[in-house]
Amino acid sequence: MIVAEQKSLDEIKAMLKDAKKVLAVGCGTCVTVCFAGGRNEVGVLSSSLRMAREVDGDSLTVDEVTVQRQCETEYIDGLADDVESYDAVLSLGCGVGVQSLAERFPAMRIFPALNTKFMGYPSEHGVWEERCQGCGNCILHLTGGICPVSRCSKQLFNGPCGGSQAGICEVDPDTSCAWQLIWERLGEQGLIEQLMEVEPPKDWSTSRDGGHRRIVRDDLRLPDGEEG
Ligand code: SF4
Ligand code: SF4
């Protein structure tokens, strides 16, 4: 999932300082699962913003709505009838959701309530860890299903850096050394020999380093003029 966390109330309050009427829009998918921008978080944040404005001797109207997915036009089209009656939209979606709203409603100011962090998974209750950086050329079949791009602090591809101590990354004492994990996993699978293969340098042009990325599927595209 895409993992995000809420900005501080002070920061959100400052962004909305000129607004009198705001629509807070939650998203029912990734950010609901990571407790950052679902219906509950929309409710709590909206109340906090109203109260904060009252404490300042003013008032702020915050209406609340949560759509199933902010990152797809069909789910945000339903906001079109009302959106113009607001001074601003506060998105509790990830960065993609915020930009989808901005693209769909270009005249409206859209403010991000969240900081989008990474693609990850919950390793325990209340803890999310990065697992993928979307490098565009997955090598998990070579590394025992453990991603050195997102989990090795130095993004090494040819084994540990030498600073690993007792299985812990030298960069962060709360992080396991990815290469220790890879070694152990492949050892358990009887596949250590796989690590002895010399791989060509990774092609980073498929990653963010190659510029803005897009996927075009001609088999799914509609003829010019047709809408899905
Ligand atoms: S190798 Fe690339 S695509 Fe695969 S998990 Fe790691 S970052 Fe993601
Ligand atoms: S200790 Fe392990 S995970 Fe940390 S930077 Fe070195 S090789 Fe990567």
Residue 228: the pLDDT is 64
Q: Do residue 17 and residue 103 come from a single domain?
A: yes
Note whether residue 165 is domain-resident.
yes
**Helix extents (H) in the chain:** 9-15, 30-33, 39-55, 73-76, 80-83, 95-104, 148-151, 178-188, 192-196
**Which residue type sits at 59?**
S
Give me the number of domains the chain comprises. Answer: 2
Instruction: Judge if 13 and 103 occupy the same domain.
Output: yes
Q: Are strands 2-6 and 114-124 parallel, antiparallel or unpaired?
A: antiparallel
Q: Does residue 99 sit in the same domain as residue 149?
A: no
**Domain hosting residue 15, numbered range:** 2-117
Mean pLDDT of the chain: 96
pTM of the model: 0.93
pLDDT over 90 at 143, yes or no: yes
Q: Is the CB of 45 under 6 A from ligand 1?
A: no
Q: Ligand 2 in contact with 171 (CB < 6 A)?
A: yes
Q: Is 5 exposed, middle or buried (CB count within 10 Å of its CB: 0-12, 13-18, 19+)? A: middle
Token pair in block for residue 37: 């921008």
3-state secondary structure of 60: coil
Mutation test residue for ligand 2: of 129, 143, 165, 171, the one with most atoms within 8 Å of CB: 171
Sheet holding 2-6, edge to edge: 2-6, 114-124, 127-132
The CA-atom distances, in angstroms, between 205 and each of 118, 134, 169 are 20, 12, 27
Regarding the beta carbon of 130 and ligand 2, being less than 6 Å apart is answered no
- Does residue 224 form part of some domain? no
Do 7 and 110 lie in one domain? The reply is yes
Percent of the chain scored above 90 by pLDDT? 93
